[in-house]
């Protein structure tokens, strides 16, 4: 009887044990599955056609290894990225996907180093949450399939963060040298990403203010490593500064809103506020004590400092840096910062629900939106359309340049010349003679267009014009200028790129 009662008493424990095992398995697999789902949205735009700046990247490496350096100087470019892209192109080919894959791989590396950084300072769960937040960030999703240097710049920021965290824990000279090298590497992929470096300096001064004398050898090692590796960039930066006014792009977002959207993405903020409110109701909020300072300072600074620097420059000068691809410098710090904030919610289940819910909402939106499979404004469909309608006896097609530099630099005469403005019609060529126009309507635009219209009138031939949104004023001017002699009409609009035709009017 006693043995039978023991057996009966033990029976309820079996389902409980199984439930415990299932629960542990669910918890163990939730974050990896959420991370995989978050990473999947990176590939939605992998087949998207190249946009303007990507065609510039291709042109700069298409001339071969020995022309990369000279072509990179013709327009602001990342010398580190271009040599990386040249190597990747030599191995993978020149298809659109092949040109994008290096950026995808670079960001996967960034996820790894962010994971390691969060794990070093906190724990594995926080590392997963930081990686997921980073993978979902809009600027990061764009960079993952962008044949531009931003993915590699983010990778170097992540590497520098990991190297800095290891240095702050180990305080070895070789670790200081490694951090200096990683910090210098950031500049080889994007100069503006140097705005993250003051965040490291500020944290170091706060955390090690009482040990500066003892750290002197390490400081010298870090600074020497950084200085030696950045010497080759000095002349490039000086030349770029001298022509800075010719590279200024227009700012399409309100400075404050653009900065806030980077530091606190809407979905992230809403989800966190709801989760924190529920945690407060359940008395599950646990703020860090003073003993955790200054550990809790590093990650917020990596987000706030670079965004604040770009905001200050944009609002106090004529330079406009508050555009998504520049603000992405704050993405690693932002992901780490929000992951750290999630630790203050003292409920594993609430943290998991917050993370899984954010992934589910974002992934659902991305897979359901046709825009997620596009990238940025591409000339591919417009050029393909022109190639179908042009004839051999027509005058050159007038192509309004989409590069701001076209307003200040001489336009190319030889289509095979070494002029970066030609990259717009290189990867997606137009099978007809072309004549580039400046981006905006100015005296040079009017002069070139006037000559083309005059010749077309003499030969009784039509004129085709390709214009992006910044060049719509040129189309309007041409319509007014040729009124009575030509009949203008829009043949097609591809996203926001217009292909217009000006047909001579038959004489009465």
Which has the closest alpha carbon to 90: 110, 63, 113? 63
Which has the closest alpha carbon to 38: 359, 371, 374? 359
Residue 455 has pLDDT above 80, yes or no: yes
- The mean pLDDT value for 45-53 works out to 93
- pTM, entire model: 0.90
| Confidence tier at 237 by pLDDT (50, 70, 90) | low
State the pLDDT at residue 252. 54
| Confidence tier at 246 by pLDDT (50, 70, 90) | very low
The bridge status of strand 397-400 relative to strand 486-494 is: unpaired
Specify whether the CB–CB gap between 419 and 449 falls below 8 A. no
Specify whether the CB–CB gap between 145 and 45 falls below 8 A. yes
Copy the structure tokens of residue 495: 């996203």
**pLDDT tens for each residue of 311-322:** 888 887 766 777
Q: Is 283 exposed, middle or buried (0-12, 13-18, 19+ CB in 10 A)?
A: exposed
Give CA–CA dist 444/179, Å, rounded: 49
**Cα–chain center distance at 375:** 11
Give CA–CA dist 364/41, Å, rounded: 10
Q: 344: helix, coil or strand?
A: coil
The answer to whether the bond into 294 is cis (omega within 30° of 0) is yes
Copy the structure tokens of residue 138: 């809009």
**pLDDT tens for each residue of 398-452:** 999 999 888 888 888 878 788 999 999 999 999 988 999 999 999 999 999 999 8
Give CA–CA dist 487/310, Å, rounded: 47
**pLDDT tens for each residue of 457-487:** 888 888 999 999 999 999 999 999 888 888 8
């Amino acid at each position: 009887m006693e043995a039978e009662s023991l057996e009966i008493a033990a029976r309820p424990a079996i389902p409980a044990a199984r439930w415990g095992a299932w629960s542990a398995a669910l918890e163990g697999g939730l974050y990896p599955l959420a991370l995989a789902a978050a990473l999947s949205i990176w590939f939605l735009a992998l087949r998207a056609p190249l946009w303007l700046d990507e065609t510039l990247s291709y042109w700069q490496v298409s001339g071969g290894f020995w022309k990369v350096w000279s072509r990179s100087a013709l327009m602001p470019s990342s010398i580190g990225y271009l040599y990386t892209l040249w190597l990747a192109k030599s191995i993978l080919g020149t298809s659109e996907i092949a040109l994008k894959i290096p950026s995808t791989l670079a960001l996967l590396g960034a996820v790894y180093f962010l994971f390691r950084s969060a794990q070093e300072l906190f724990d594995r769960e926080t590392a997963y949450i930081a990686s997921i937040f980073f993978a979902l960030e809009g600027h990061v999703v764009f960079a993952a399939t962008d044949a531009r240097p931003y993915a590699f710049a983010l990778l170097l920021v992540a590497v520098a963060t990991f190297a800095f965290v290891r240095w702050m824990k180990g305080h070895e000279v070789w670790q200081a040298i490694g951090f200096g090298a990683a910090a210098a590497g950031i500049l080889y992929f994007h100069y503006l990403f140097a705005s993250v470096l003051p965040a490291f300096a500020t944290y170091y001064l706060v955390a090690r203010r009482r040990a500066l004398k003892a750290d002197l050898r390490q400081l010298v090692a870090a600074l020497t490593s950084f200085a030696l590796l950045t010497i080759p960039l000095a002349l490039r930066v000086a030349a770029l500064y001298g022509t800075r006014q010719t590279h200024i792009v227009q700012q399409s977002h309100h400075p404050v809103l653009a900065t806030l959207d980077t530091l606190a993405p809407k979905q992230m903020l809403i989800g966190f506020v709801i989760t924190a409110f529920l945690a407060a109701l359940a008395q599950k909020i646990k703020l860090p004590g003073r003993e955790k300072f200054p550990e809790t300072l590093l990650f917020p600074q990596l987000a706030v400092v670079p965004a604040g620097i770009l905001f200050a420059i944009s609002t106090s000068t004529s330079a406009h840096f508050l555009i998504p691809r520049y603000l992405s410098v704050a993405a690693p710090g932002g992901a780490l910062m929000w992951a750290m904030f999630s630790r203050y919610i003292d409920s594993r289940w609430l943290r998991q629900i917050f993370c899984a819910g954010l992934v589910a909402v974002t992934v659902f939106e991305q897979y359901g939106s046709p825009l997620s499979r596009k990238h940025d404004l591409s000339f591919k469909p417009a050029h393909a359309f022109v190639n179908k309608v042009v004839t051999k006896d027509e005058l050159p097609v007038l192509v309004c340049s989409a590069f701001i530099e076209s307003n200040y630099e001489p336009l190319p005469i030889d289509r095979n010349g070494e002029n970066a403005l030609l990259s717009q019609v290189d990867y997606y060529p137009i099978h007809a003679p072309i004549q580039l126009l400046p981006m905006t309507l100015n005296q040079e635009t009017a002069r070139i267009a006037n000559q083309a219209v005059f010749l077309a009138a003499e030969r009784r031939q039509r004129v085709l014009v390709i214009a992006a949104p910044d060049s719509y004023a040129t189309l309007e001017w041409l319509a007014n200028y040729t009124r009575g002699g030509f009949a203008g009409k829009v043949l097609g609009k591809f996203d926001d790129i217009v292909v217009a035709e000006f047909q001579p009017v038959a004489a009465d």
